[in-house]
Structure 1
């Protein structure tokens, strides 16, 4: 089951059509409050959660889910992606962070990871050890930059704090992503948080 929370009806309809065609059960909600009111009665599955909504934004809905002990994995959807929002969502446990418009294949891969997380809930210690090994392969400078990114700091702030140029930060960021074998910023954040960076 995939639960969609988005205040744009067109998005809900398009996602519902696409996901049902891919074989998923779907429920959709026009706002976070309506979803949270039904939280105890929901089927297991994952949540596609829009960030910019009236009344409660996506991060507030995510916080309320955590406070209620809800462990459904969350995928954040937004048309207004920025580093600090990505960091906040990932720190709160989001599986992925997709910027609209996104490719259908990217969404399906994120949903697959969400269901993998449900299956692997008992393997947190293994993930932490794997992440720590990956981080250990980075240079100390790359670790400092990844830690800054995990704290939600922009490149310019990291550069200022480390006494280097913003361009040098970008080069180290590209190198560390290559060493971590990740293709996206959220993937790098997942490894960083699993290894305890950004605390």
Structure 2
């Protein structure tokens, strides 16, 4: 199996690239945001628990997010592997992912692919996306810059986790979409 942690700040093209990689390599993208939306909307036991923290203005504990991921992995069989998008966000989550893959699937993270894009390009991409999508968080430059800073603050330690394992690969995320897909694919081919 090929198990990819896909990193990229908001506007890096991570979601677009994940869709191409899913098709090309028969992988299943597991997005933390999608998992949360599903569990909250369907009021699953984990969704109700997560909502109880959110209602108090607290962050949802890593354990709840990790259990959502574990449940999601059980739903998807027949794939050549997974693309983890938005998880892990902390070193504790990275360690949990390592344990889950080993215990449940006898697997490990193959590679952590990190899309690198200069902040000013990210801001312009997101402002452009905000015009098209109507997303409020993509229409305000100050909010965009805060999201970018928050992303780096959270993911730096996780990047170090994978770097220490020799699994972190930086990919230049600027250029034509197909060009970036090719760069990512070259790295994934090493595990196919």
Q: Radius of gyration: which is bigger?
A: 1
Structure number with the bigger relative contact order (C-alpha 8 A, sep ≥ 6) is: 2
TM-score when normalising by structure 1: 0.36
